[in-house]
């Protein structure tokens, strides 16, 4: 009798989840085009002048989000003067990935590099937030011809004490994770997403309408939720492997992080990176939380403009030398 009741409850939750997925997709349709790469299909939005003479700027979002979290604050402003490419990371937003275990910065860097090549982008300035902060040095190290400079916002860059939250760890467990993802995650997450997003913004306030405007609930779709959990639970071990390579980065780097970030510690990640990599400019925002692209949009745009000008000047000087 108890087993039957559990089965019925799970079946109802599964139906509720499918209805919720349908509603989310209908309310937040894709805004760009799709590019097929090995192991993934990437959703890409292009803004600004297609044939801008300067270097394109590529914006990459962090965990539990999509390209919309980079478009609203940064992409639209930068597009006034630059060609801007926004990418849903493999398995996030409207992008898909074939293998849930393709969760590492190294693998996702390879996919993004291939997509940029298919867009005809030889060199670009890459900007990554939070989880994608770990992706920026991976791109710089493995695809140096593609990457002219990197900007890291509240980045993860090193292994850290502790884990990534019990629910993500459970979600990455075979059988149990998918069972939760396809039944309880969306109904439960719908009630928790507001408080969770407010926590990420603290000590700043979350802007009114932010969750709807950036389609945050899209991460509650079962496959995306599982992809996100894998990204988070495998990241620490990847940082153990990746971080010793940082001193060999030889391109300009700018890091912007808040000193009150409760999600990704500036002392554990940003300050050590700046000390390890020669051409790094570190900007620490007083009393700043984890979402500087929202509360410090103008200073970040100015920093991106400055690093773009620096790269352009270096390129011109190199051309003159030859």
What pLDDT sits at residue 52? 65
Point out which residues pair with 36 in neighbouring strands.
41
Mean pLDDT value across residues 11-34: 94
In the predicted structure, residue 319 carries a pLDDT above the cut 90 = no
What pLDDT sits at residue 320? 55
Rounded Cα–Cα distance for residues 314 and 322 (Å): 13
Structure token pair of residue 256: 């912007």
Distances (CA, A) of 69 to 49, 72, 150, 227: 21, 6, 18, 18
What percent of the chain stands above pLDDT 70?
97
Tokens 């090549």 locate to 117
138 burial (CB, 10 Å; 0-12 / 13-18 / 19+) is: buried
Q: Cβ–Cβ contacts within 10 Å for residue 112, how many? A: 30
Range in 72-76, 111-115, 243-247 the model is least confident about: 72-76
Distances (CA, A) of 294 to 201, 205, 259, 297: 9, 10, 16, 6
Look up residue 75 and give its DSSP letter.
Answer: I
Cβ distance 58 to 125 under 8 Å? Answer: yes
By C-alpha distance, which of 75, 85, 68, 322 is closest to 218?
68
Structure token pair of residue 166: 């019990």
pTM of the model: 0.95
What pLDDT sits at residue 258? 98
Backbone angles phi, psi at 112, to 5 degrees: -70, -40
Structure token pair of residue 67: 């390209």
What pLDDT sits at residue 239? 98
Higher pLDDT, 210 or 10: 210
What pLDDT sits at residue 318? 60
The confidence band for 295, taking pLDDT boundaries of 50, 70 and 90, is very high
Mean pLDDT value across residues 208-216: 96
Look up residue 173 and give its DSSP letter.
Answer: S
The confidence band for 72, taking pLDDT boundaries of 50, 70 and 90, is confident
Tens of pLDDT, residue by residue over 117-173, are 999 999 999 999 999 999 999 999 999 999 999 999 999 999 999 888 777 888 888
Tens of pLDDT, residue by residue over 216-255, are 999 999 999 999 999 999 999 999 999 999 999 999 999 9
Range in 22-36, 110-124, 256-270, 306-320 the model is least confident about: 306-320
252: alpha, beta or left? (left if phi > 0; alpha if psi -120 to 50): beta
- Domains of the chain, by residue range, sit at 2-321
Rounded Cα–Cα distance for residues 85 and 58 (Å): 5
What pLDDT sits at residue 69? 97
What pLDDT sits at residue 148? 97
Q: Where do the DSSP E strands lie in 154-252?
A: none
Structure token pair of residue 113: 């590099």
What pLDDT sits at residue 198? 96
Mean pLDDT value across residues 26-35: 96
Point out which residues pair with 127 in neighbouring strands.
59, 151
What pLDDT sits at residue 313? 84
The confidence band for 175, taking pLDDT boundaries of 50, 70 and 90, is confident
The confidence band for 321, taking pLDDT boundaries of 50, 70 and 90, is low
What pLDDT sits at residue 213? 95
In the predicted structure, residue 51 carries a pLDDT above the cut 80 = no
Q: Give the mean pLDDT of the chain.
A: 94
Higher pLDDT, 168 or 104: 104
CATH class of 2-321: alpha beta
Cβ distance 8 to 21 under 8 Å? Answer: no
* CA atoms in the 13 A half-sphere facing the CB of 232: 26
């Amino acid at each position: 009798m108890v087993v039957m009741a559990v089965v019925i409850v799970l079946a109802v939750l599964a139906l509720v989840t499918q209805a919720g997925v349908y509603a989310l997709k209908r309310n937040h349709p894709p805004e760009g085009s799709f590019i097929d790469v090995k192991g993934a299909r990437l959703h890409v939005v292009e803004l600004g002048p297609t044939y801008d003479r300067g270097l394109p700027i590529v914006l990459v979002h962090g965990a539990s989000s999509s390209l919309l979290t980079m478009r609203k604050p940064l992409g639209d402003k930068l597009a006034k003067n630059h060609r801007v490419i926004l990418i849903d990371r493999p398995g996030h937003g409207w992008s898909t990935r074939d293998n849930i275990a393709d969760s590492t910065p190294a693998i996702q860097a390879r996919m993004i590099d291939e997509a940029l090549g298919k867009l005809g982008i030889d060199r670009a300035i890459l900007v990554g937030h939070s989880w994608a902060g770990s992706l920026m040095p991976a791109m710089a190290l493995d695809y140096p011809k593609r990457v002219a400079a990197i900007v890291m916002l509240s980045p993860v860059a090193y292994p850290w004490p502790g884990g990534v939250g019990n629910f993500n760890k459970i979600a990455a467990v075979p059988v149990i994770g998918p069972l939760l993802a396809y039944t309880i995650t969306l109904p439960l997450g719908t009630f928790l997403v507001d408080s969770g997003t407010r926590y990420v913004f603290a000590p700043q306030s979350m802007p009114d309408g932010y969750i709807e405007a950036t389609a945050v609930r899209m991460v509650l779709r079962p496959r995306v939720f599982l992809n996100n959990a894998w990204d988070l639970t495998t990241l620490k071990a990847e940082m153990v492997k990746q971080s010793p390579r940082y001193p060999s980065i030889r391109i300009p780097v700018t890091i912007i992080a808040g000193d009150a970030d409760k999600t990704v510690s500036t002392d554990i990640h940003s300050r050590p990176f700046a000390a390890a990599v020669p051409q790094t400019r570190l900007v620490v925002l007083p009393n700043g939380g984890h979402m500087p692209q929202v509360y410090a949009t103008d200073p970040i745009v100015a920093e991106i403009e400055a690093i773009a000008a620096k790269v352009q000047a270096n390129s011109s000087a190199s051309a003159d030398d030859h």
